[in-house]
Amino acid sequence: MTTPSMVSPDSLTPFDALPQLSQRPSRATLVLFFSLLLAGLTYTFYSLQQDVSASGTLVTTVTPFLLLGLALLIALGFEFVNGFHDTANAVATVIYTHSLPASVAVVWSGLCNFLGVLLSSGAVAFGIIALLPVELILQAGSSAGFAMIFSLLLAAIIWNLGTWWLGLPASSSHTLIGSIIGVGVANALMHGRDGTSGVDWGQASKVGYALLFSPLIGFVCAALLLLALRALVKRRELYRAPEGQTPPPWWIRGLLILTCTGVSFAHGSNDGQKGMGLIMLILVGTLPMAYALNKTMPNEQALQFSAVAEVTRQALVRSAPQPAPADPRQTLTDFISEPKASPALIPALAALTGMVGEEVKGYGSLKRVPAEAMANVRNDMYLTSEVIRLLDKHQLASFDADTARHVQLFKRQLDDATRYIPLWVKVAVAIALGLGTMVGWKRIVVTVGEKIGKTHLSYAQGASAEVVAMCTIGAADMFGLPVSTTHVLSSGVAGAMVANGSGLQRRTLINLLMAWVLTLPAAMLLAGCLYWLLNQVF
């Protein structure tokens, strides 16, 4: 019979089976940590200085660079907080099944997060940016643009730190998306429009469905996987709590370490891109002469761009031969604010397409675009691309097959010219996320490992939850969807507990549900208020 002194007060877990989480980092670990931090910051600002010098920018005032430095530190701070807030998603199962010591697990997870960021595609980064109001993206260097960036980053950091302090595995993705929606709604209200017009609700609903269904997928699939494992593998020790500090059988231990690796890599690949997208907005707004356009595009591709633009313009003119409006940019900007078909829409698109093609053809390549024209050329490209996207999304134009093919080819060319991420941005975000993974992980690891189920996490439960989390997040990254690593993993642990008949701790489930429900509205309110306040300051 187990005596009360042998049982954890928060669950039915024997104390001798609990992992050792209180080791203090060694001096060598601290030296390595701060060395990497210093190296990352040095590399970031050195790369920034090189890019500014290469662009021929004349430094007449330090104010933009001070704002840029502050914005970059806040953006990298968000990724750092994201790292230690979400560490538990990958390491809780390997720690509580004694597959890896805690110190080894978090360092390994940090390294895999680092590699995940470096090898990411960038699709999620620009999926996040698509949620932001286009008018603010086009004015990224204005006071409203800076207020937008600072408010959504600060709101996300504040909420992440608050939930981390309470040990609640809330979602960083959920938090950031709520912040973006809050800024969009506040911006619309401040300009006298209906608050619902400030957000691309189609894109928001796509992201919302991913966030809504990913926990359900985690719960159901982890439960089914555990039941399948029980039916196929008849080894009782896999479905019981570990005895003391005994590690699992070698094959299940290898699977747990593999899934820890996969979840860490997928988390870096998915969550790291959110910071990349925001940093690119900061760079475009502050230093358009260096970052507004993809200067790595070869000269021959720029010439091809001009040719595709002219063919697309001619196809659009044939499909709508009416005369273009006097100010095609304004017509297209009004369309983005309220997507509705009008007789002037396609002629305006044809006119701006021709202007963009002529601009690039006149300069010969994107590298030769003068610094003073860089922001305007980029805005014309971005505006054209967004109009094409919205026309396709709302099916507001009935092009023939040949015209539709030319329009989509031109959009891909526009995106290649404006949507890119320099290597140093990836490295900076990778270091911030990787180092953050090694700090402050204990609070949420304890929640996931001890406070979801009523019994200690078994080997099979940990493996089931991690396999499902790894596959779900990896699939989301392929489709450019920012799912919640936290929700997938914690719901997977809950599903595995239910399938094993272990039971769930009601108080923890209520807290998790409250964090899941409140994160979006709280982040929206916080970001909206900060946006209004920072607009007054700037």
CB 292 within 8 Å of CB 354: no
In a domain, 216, yes or no: yes
Query: Is residue 354 located within the same domain as residue 456?
Result: no
Q: Which amino acid is residue 79, in one-letter code?
A: E
CB 152 within 8 Å of CB 137: no
Token pair recorded at residue 482? 């920012």
Query: Is residue 460 located within the same domain as residue 402?
Result: no
Tell me phi and psi for residue 14, to 5 degrees.
-65, 140
pTM of the model: 0.80
- pLDDT tens track, the chain, 538 positions: 344 434 444 444 454 556 666 667 778 778 888 898 899 889 988 988 888 887 766 666 677 778 788 888 888 888 888 887 777 777 888 888 888 888 888 889 889 989 988 888 777 777 777 777 777 777 766 777 788 888 988 998 998 888 888 777 677 777 888 888 888 888 888 877 765 666 666 666 766 676 677 778 888 988 999 899 888 887 777 777 777 677 777 888 888 898 889 888 888 887 788 888 888 888 887 788 788 888 877 777 777 888 999 999 999 999 888 888 889 999 998 888 778 888 899 999 999 999 999 988 888 888 888 877 888 888 899 899 989 988 887 788 888 889 999 999 999 999 888 888 888 999 999 999 888 888 877 777 887 777 787 777 778 888 888 888 888 777 766 666 666 777 788 888 888 888 877 777 877 778 777 777 788 888 889 999 999 998 888 6
CA distances 58 to 287, 474, 530, Å, are 11, 44, 32
CA distances 59 to 52, 72, 286, 397, Å, are 9, 19, 12, 46
Query: Is residue 267 located within the same domain as residue 333?
Result: no
> What's the CA gap between 514 and 500, in Å, rounded?
25
- Best CA proximity match to 251, nearest among 237, 264, 265, 267: 237
SS3 458: coil
Count of domains for the chain: 2
pLDDT for the residue 12: 47
Query: Is residue 384 located within the same domain as residue 442?
Result: no
Query: Is residue 239 located within the same domain as residue 208?
Result: yes
> What's the CA gap between 312 and 366, in Å, rounded?
20
- Best CA proximity match to 531, nearest among 278, 182, 67: 182
Query: Is residue 104 located within the same domain as residue 252?
Result: yes
Residue 295 DSSP class: T
In a domain, 409, yes or no: yes
Query: Is residue 348 located within the same domain as residue 476?
Result: no
Residue 322 DSSP class: S
> What's the CA gap between 14 and 6, in Å, rounded?
6
What pairs with residue 504 in β-bridges? 453
In a domain, 33, yes or no: no
Per DSSP, helices labelled H in 195-298 are 201-232, 250-286, 288-291
Placement of tokens 């907005």 in the chain: 281
pLDDT for the residue 9: 42
- Best CA proximity match to 473, nearest among 102, 221, 181: 221
In a domain, 510, yes or no: yes
> What's the CA gap between 29 and 11, in Å, rounded?
32
> What's the CA gap between 42 and 424, in Å, rounded?
11
SS3 200: coil
How deeply is 363 buried, as exposed, middle or buried, from its count of CB atoms within 10 A (0-12, 13-18, 19+)?
middle
Query: Is residue 241 located within the same domain as residue 131?
Result: yes
In a domain, 15, yes or no: no
CB 440 within 8 Å of CB 164: yes
Q: Which amino acid is residue 269, in one-letter code?
A: S
pLDDT for the residue 527: 92
In a domain, 66, yes or no: no
- Domain stops at, among 367, 398, 418: 418
Query: Is residue 89 located within the same domain as residue 146?
Result: yes
What pairs with residue 453 in β-bridges? 504
- Domain stops at, among 418, 451, 484: 418
Query: Is residue 375 located within the same domain as residue 450?
Result: no
Query: Is residue 138 located within the same domain as residue 204?
Result: yes
The distance from CA 114 to its chain's CA centroid, rounded to whole angstroms, is 14
Phi-psi map region of 480: left, alpha, beta (phi>0 left; psi -120 to 50 alpha): left
SS3 133: coil
> What's the CA gap between 192 and 135, in Å, rounded?
14
- Best CA proximity match to 422, nearest among 299, 300, 277: 277
In a domain, 54, yes or no: no
Structural domain boundaries, residue 319: 299-418
CA distances 464 to 6, 230, 236, 254, 304, Å, are 28, 11, 16, 13, 50
CB 83 within 8 Å of CB 110: yes
- Domain stops at, among 394, 418, 442: 418
SS3 14: strand
Token pair recorded at residue 223? 């439960």
In a domain, 62, yes or no: no
Query: Is residue 455 located within the same domain as residue 405?
Result: no
Q: Using alpha carbons only, what angle is made at residue 364 by residues 390 and 290, rounded to the nearest 5 degrees?
A: 70
